[in-house]
Amino acid sequence: MSILIDPQLDLQSVRIVRAIADTGTITGAARMLGYSQPAVSQHLQRTESRLGLPLVTRVGRTVRLTEAGQVLARHALTITSALDAASGDLADLAGLRTGSVRLAAFPTASSTIVPRLLALMAKDHPGILVNYIEAQPPEAVALLREGSVDLAITFGYPGDRSDPHRESANGLRMELLFTEEMVVVLAADHPLASGPVIDVASLADERWIAGCPRCRGHLLAVCELAGFTPAIAFETDNASAVLNMVASGLGVAMLPRLALATATLPPGAVIRAHTPTSKRSIHLLANEGARRVPSLAATSELLHGLDGSDWGLVTR
């Protein structure tokens, strides 16, 4: 289990001895390795003095391996093939022939963005294994920070003061993947459902159904801007539940467009734009330096190229 390698035995020596074994001359070895003849000659002498053993003896005008040289030459193949195997594996990683990506994304993405990504990955880079974990943005960031995950897909709201650009510092890099509009969900028989666009202020007296904590935070911010504090009657991060509660007349809600792609809109609910309009952005978070890891760079590139317009996502 000793990690101590004899510092007196370096790769160059092994390569040189092997080349001499192959060609029979120092000059030939030098040519094979792309060095000048004196370079090989001197290196050999240095190695011999380090080892305290001659590796070659002069015979005639050429050179012949001593017993020690022959021993080294015999080991050379093993050593070089072990190194070749290692650098081959590294080349596979660099060439995207192998590799793995550990990805975290928020729940709504699990049934929209992520499946589409995985299909693309399987097609373009079949050798790369993707490991997916569902996590809300804060947890996803934590996983990223502790190194349990390589990439995190998160969302954020413009005024959000918890992650927008503060994450880009501290070694984390944030890239914008999509933006999407928030929409208001009303019961189909709601009086305001007749108009195409709804003033949020006109919903001041409604009962609200809120989503996840961060979504609730955004709702509060929007309503505050409109001059009121919403009465939140229910909370659930299940979009389908929200839609059905609205359809049942339990209240109104504000959802991102993407959430609507995960659930079928029940007959009793309608979707409307609102003013002042509000948006949500979807980010890709990665450790600084992920760009240099081929598998992560490839995943990132595919994500950036993804078309989410059928879900109401805007690429930019």
Q: What gap in Å lies between CA 245 and CA 239, rounded to an integer?
A: 10
Minimum CB separation of residue 102 from a copy of itself in Å reads 10
Restricting to residues 117-176, which ones interact with a copy of itself according to CB under 8 A?
A: 145-147, 171
**Full DSSP string of 245-261:** HHHTTS-EEEEEHHHHT
Out of 26, 258, 298, 313, the residue judged to bind DNA by CB under 7 A:
26
Q: Does 61 help bind a copy of itself (rule: CB under 8 A)?
A: no
Among 36, 45, 85, 315, binds a copy of itself (CB under 8 A): 85
Binding partner selected for residue 43 from a copy of itself, DNA, none, CB under the kind-specific 5 to 8 Å limit: DNA
Residue 199, strand partner residues: 275
* 32 belongs to the binding site for a copy of itself (CB under 8 A): yes
Specify the 3-state DSSP secondary structure of 288: coil
Question: Exactly one of 45, 78, 131, 275 binds DNA (CB under 7 A); which one?
Answer: 45
292/316 with CB nearer a copy of itself: 292
**How is 95-149 classified by DSSP, letter by letter?**
TTSS-EEEEEE-HHHHTTHHHHHHHHHHHH-TT-EEEEEE--HHHHHHHHHTTS-
Contact 217, 157 (CB under 8 A): yes
Residue 58 φ then ψ, to 5°: -80, 130
Sign of dihedral through CA atoms 119, 124, 130, 132?
A: negative
Q: Which of 60, 191, 196, 267 binds a copy of itself (CB under 8 A)?
A: 60
> Any contact of residue 8 with DNA (CB under 7 A)?
no
d(CA 121, CA 130): 8
- Judge contact between 245 and 213, C-beta under 8 A: no
Segment 58-117, which members bind DNA (CB under 7 A)? Answer: 58, 60-63
Site residues for DNA per CB under 7 A: 10, 12, 25-28, 30, 34-39, 41-46, 56, 58, 60-63, 170-171
Site residues for a copy of itself per CB under 8 A: 2-3, 5-6, 8-11, 14-15, 18-19, 22, 32-33, 48, 51-54, 57-60, 64, 66-68, 71-72, 75, 78-80, 82-87, 89-90, 93-94, 99-100, 145-147, 171, 287, 289, 292-295
